[in-house]
Amino acid sequence: MSVLRFEGVSKVFRSSLRGKYLYTLGPITLGVEQGEIFGYLGPNGAGKTTTLKLAMGLLRATSGKVLIFDRPHDSRSARKCVGFLPEQPYFYQHLTAVELLEFYGDMFGLSRDENRRRALHLLELVGLREFGNAMISKFSKGMLQRIGLAQALVNDPDLVVLDEPMSGLDPVGRREIRDLILDLKSKGKTVFLSSHILQDVEMICDRVGILSAGRILEIASVAEVLDRGVRSVEIQIEGLTVSVARDLGFAGASSLGDKTVVNVAHQDEVNGAIMKLAAAGARVVAVIPLRATLEDYFMSQIAGGGNQEGRAFHTQVRGPRSRERSDRGATGRQSDREELISNTPGKMGR
């Protein structure tokens, strides 16, 4: 059972003038599994926020359905298990940080004492301990991001949905939030996040989905992507000159300071190469797989429209565009403008 499941979910935004199509997302079929951190990636305007809002019930899908723990995503029981950090959170400016968290705690029926304890704990968790009595109106962007994350955790949710959680944070803040997300995972929570910061995604996510122009190009495990991206292996040695290394058959040998560097094309050639170099008197000082980063992979996917599998999926999901229209007709969807139900604190996906 997926914790969060999109089943053929699409969203069509139309201009209110003549019903012209502006943007189509999906149909998306995607499952986020128990205990994983799933990164949802895509360039600006790809549809990440739209997907997350559909998951939270802040937008209504044109077709398809979203399930949370196998229950309709907008059911009371599903909402109880979810925490959400919107892309640009807006909070009541006149509240202090503690009051804000207690305000959300109230919605989940926490008792007065429990609410206070939870608020203080969350402030500590997101690094805002000294700012409990500071007004939200005085908060910097990074502090707002942190308090936003704290409010997403008020109900100790099993599923945490985060839209660009690292945005607006300095490198130390990003690291703290990464650690916090990893900590959630270690407690068995499931995290679905969107991000532009691929380095962060590479460090913490188990799987990624790459979205471009409303279509999922590929869903892959991060480890698989990184393994697939190993281009060659660099072996750094001492005690052997470049020319001797070349004589041994390492044609591309070069020098790096006092060291000699040779490259082998595949990981399974590494042992043989090391034995050959050692037999000639070399001392191995480093073996470094040269791999493409997630960023390289992401860029190639976006530029190429996905790999073979991705393309097949791409074609498959592109196909039903006409069906999407008939679905829309069948469900009699409304125009896009009124579909943003609410992004105000009182109604954030609860």
Ligand X SMILES: Nc1ncnc2c1ncn2[C@@H]1O[C@H](COP(=O)(O)OP(=O)(O)OP(=O)(O)O)[C@@H](O)[C@H]1O
Nearer to ligand X, 60 or 185 (CB): 60
Closer residue to ligand X (CB): 269 or 339: 339
Binding of ligand X by 23 (CB under 6 A): yes
Contacts of 214 (CB under 8 A, 6+ apart): 23, 24, 25, 26, 46, 47
- Two structure tokens written together for 160: 């945490």
Query: What is the distance between the alpha carbons of residues 65 and 323, in angstroms, rounded to a whole number?
Result: 16
Residue 43, helix vs strand vs coil: coil
Residues binding Mg ion: number (CB under 5 A): 3
For residue 202, state whether it binds ligand X (rule: CB under 6 A): no
**What's at 63, amino acid-wise?**
S
Sequence-distant (≥ 6) Cβ neighbours of residue 260 within 8 angstroms: 236, 237, 238, 240, 241, 242, 245, 253, 254, 282
Shortest CB 53 distance to ligand X, Å:
8
Span 46-105, contacts to ligand X by CB under 6 A? 46-50, 87
42 binds ligand X (CB under 6 A): yes
Q: Which is nearer to ligand X, 80 or 333 (CB)?
A: 333
Query: How many Å apart are CA 312 and CA 310, to the nearest integer?
Result: 5
Q: Output phi, psi for 96, to 5 deg.
A: -85, 170
Distance in angstroms (rounded) separating the CA atoms of residues 233 and 270: 7
Binding string, 31-70, against Mg ion, x = CB under 5 A?
-----------------xx---------------------
Out of Mg ion, ligand X, none, which partner does residue 42 contact, by CB within 5 to 8 A per kind? ligand X
Q: Which of 191, 184, 226, 186 is nearest to 205 (CA)?
A: 191
Closest to ligand X by CB, 163 or 202: 163
Q: Point out the residue whose Cβ comes nearest to Mg ion.
A: 49
Q: Which stretch binds Mg ion (CB under 5 A): 57-65, 79-87, 204-212, 227-235?
A: 79-87
Q: Site residues (CB under 5 A) for Mg ion?
A: 48-49, 87
Q: Which residues would be at the binding site for ligand X (CB under 6 A)?
A: 13, 22-23, 42, 44-50, 87, 336, 340
